[in-house]
């Protein structure tokens, strides 16, 4: 028997809308920058920032929950998409390469 599910999300992992602080830095840099997280999945994160980051850039990311129920998520990630936002900022989509414990 074959089962088919009708849904619009065709991704490997379901995305969860979030509003959180995303701290990031380019690999090799020491200064962390702050951004606003928009969505999160097991495969990656999307955030909004004032600076444009090139597709393919390697980032170190720390996502801190608003409440201290869980520890921050630390990961290395690759930028896979950059889009302009309505207010002139940049929407950055990243794929996690390694989640650190």
- Cβ(45)–Cβ(76) under 8 Å? no
Per-position pLDDT tens, the chain of length 101: 344 445 455 555 566 677 889 999 999 899 999 999 989 888 899 999 999 999 999 999 999 877 777 888 999 999 999 999 889 999 999 999 999 86
- Cβ(16)–Cβ(37) under 8 Å? no
Q: Which 3-state string (H, E, C) describes 5-20? A: CCCCCCCCCCCEEEEE
Name the maximum alpha-carbon separation found in the chain. Answer: 55
What is the pTM for the complete model shown? 0.80
| CA distance linking residue 46 with residue 49, whole number of Å | 10
Residue 1: per-residue pLDDT: 39
Question: All domains of the chain, ordered by start, with CATH?
Answer: 16-100 (2.40.10.220)
Residue 70: per-residue pLDDT: 80
| CA distance linking residue 49 with residue 47, whole number of Å | 7
């Amino acid at each position: 028997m074959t089962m088919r599910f009708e849904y619009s999300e065709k991704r490997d992992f379901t995305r969860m809308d979030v509003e959180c602080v995303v701290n990031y830095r380019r690999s090799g840099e020491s200064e962390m920058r702050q951004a606003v997280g928009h969505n999160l999945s097991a495969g990656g994160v999307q955030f909004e920032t004032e600076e444009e980051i090139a597709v393919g850039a390697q980032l170190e990311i720390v996502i801190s929950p608003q409440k201290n129920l869980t520890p921050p998520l630390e990961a290395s990630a690759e930028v896979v998409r950059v889009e302009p936002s309505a207010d002139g900022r940049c929407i950055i989509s990243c794929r996690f390469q390694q989640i650190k414990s």
